A and B are shown apart, each in its own frame.
Chain A
Amino acid sequence: MNKKAFNIKDFLINYGVILIIIILVAFTGIKSPNFLSPSNLLNLLLNMSARLVIALGIAGCVITAGCDLSAGRIIGLGGCLAGILLQKADYSGRFIQGGKPMNVFLAAIIVMVVCAAFGAVTGSFIAFLSVPPFISTLAMMEIVYGLNLIVTNATPLGGYVTEYTNLASGRFLMIPYLVWIAILIGAISWFIFNMTRHGKYMYAIGANPQAAEVAGVPVKLTMVMIYAKAAAFYGLAGFMLGAKSGGASVNLGLGYEMEAIAACTIGGVSVTGGRGKVSSAVIGVAVFEFLKAALQFLGVNANAQWIALGIIIYIAISLDIRKYVAKK
């Protein structure tokens, strides 16, 4: 068997960023033992849960060499919609006076369906009108933001039913429900990416959309489905964030799309399309969250943390582009 020789340069290009962050995490763990304490790790898992769901949605778009800048605003819409449906009946600031709060599961489904509809519209613009993904999603970002402002009147929502907030505080086998939801979405995504025709089409479009079309792949329909699925995931992430914080406003999820794209890239989802796995998103989100926590534990200035995160994103994307150029 012809085994490929280990090349340190390739290894560093592929895993350099992750390696640096692992060293940083280990250093932080030694310097501040609380960093690796079970309670902090559980807290990190809780923070990762919603972000993983977002990253799994965005990963589909990135694999097709696209992007979704509307993610943050759709998260906000999902959070606010869930908040409206799940406020206590006797809450003085209830958004819809009278009536009863909805079943939590049903509310989650409604939030996902509504958000998926917005995603389907975005996907249709990209697929049928040939509008570049970044313009299409920027436009949708603005429409959703405007709509959310009108619906909520820019008022923060609160007073949720305990069944909803219990999703963040309640546990099963010592692990919060939100983490279980993220694991479930991860499993569903893995199945879609690896076991379904839709998943194969997704990779084919990302590698070469024209070749995929010639080969009989329904490119347009697949694109619509990818963006709809992604938006459904953002909606669910908004629902999860609302449960975690016990409230929501139009600004919920602001900037999360950039974090998710960065996490995907760090994990190995290629921004040039055609490559990426569910595990890439999981690794990327974990690495990104550990990095943020490590910087906090090391007492790095909050503003300087943004610079550090920006540098990491820049390096990760540069290395990814370099890999693409080298492959060509």
Chain B
Amino acid sequence: MLEQFLHFAGIPTLIGLVALYFAYRVMVLKDIKAIRGKGKPEPKDKEGYCRDAGRLLIFFAVGTFLMGVLESINAVAALVQIVVWVVVLFVLWKKLEDKYE
């Protein structure tokens, strides 16, 4: 059972866990450099940025877990779901960057 789950959903689950780890770093540890890298200026409101970026990362993690579930049912549906999810995520991320620039 577990082996079958990992066969279908192993990679999406792993990616989801990575996203959750970064959400933890941003929301709890307030480590914005973990996602912004060096060279970028600090956002206007660090607290707000950490909160919103963390939420987006959790949103991404949820999308990956959902993909893992869908993959065992219908691979095409899983692909469509993750593409839509990622496009929404990136648009929201752009809005986040514009908001706190």
Residues of A within 8 A of B (CB): 65-66, 73, 125, 128-136, 138-139, 141-143, 145-147, 149-150, 154, 208-210, 272-273
Instruction: Encode B66-97 as 1/0 by CB contact (under 8 A) with A.
Output: 01000100011011001100100111011001
Q: Evaluate whether A145 and B93 lie within 8 angstroms (CB atoms) in the complex, with A132-B35, A150-B79, A208-B39 already known.
A: no
Chain B contact residues: helix, strand, loop or mixed: helix
Cα distance, A132 to B96, chains bound together (Å): 12
Q: Evaluate whether A134 and B35 lie within 8 angstroms (CB atoms) in the complex, with A142-B67, A146-B67 already known.
A: yes
CB–CB B19/A132 < 8 A: no
Residue from B36, B79, B90 within 8 A of A146 (CB atoms): B79
CB–CB B38/A139 < 8 A: no
CB–CB B15/A134 < 8 A: no
Chain B residues positioned under 8 Å from A132 (CB to CB): 35-37
CB–CB B35/A149 < 8 A: no
Chain A residues positioned under 8 Å from B60 (CB to CB): 135, 138-139
Report the nearest B residue to A124, measured CB to CB.
B90
Chain B residues positioned under 8 Å from A138 (CB to CB): 15, 18-19, 60
B: interface residue count bin: 20 to 34
CB–CB A139/B93 < 8 A: no
CB–CB B82/A149 < 8 A: no
Chain B residues positioned under 8 Å from A147 (CB to CB): 79
Pairs A–B under 8 Å by Cβ, sample size 24: A73-B11, A128-B94, A129-B91, A130-B94, A130-B97, A131-B90, A132-B36, A135-B57, A138-B18, A139-B90, A141-B15, A142-B11, A142-B67, A143-B82, A146-B67, A146-B71, A146-B75, A146-B79, A146-B82, A150-B75, A150-B76, A210-B41, A272-B38, A273-B37
Cα distance, A142 to B90, chains bound together (Å): 14
Cα distance, A141 to B97, chains bound together (Å): 23
Chain A residues positioned under 8 Å from B97 (CB to CB): 129-130
Chain A residues positioned under 8 Å from B93 (CB to CB): 129-131, 135
Sample of 5 more A-B contacts, CB < 8 Å, known A141-B11, A145-B12, A150-B76: A135-B89, A142-B64, A143-B79, A208-B39, A209-B39
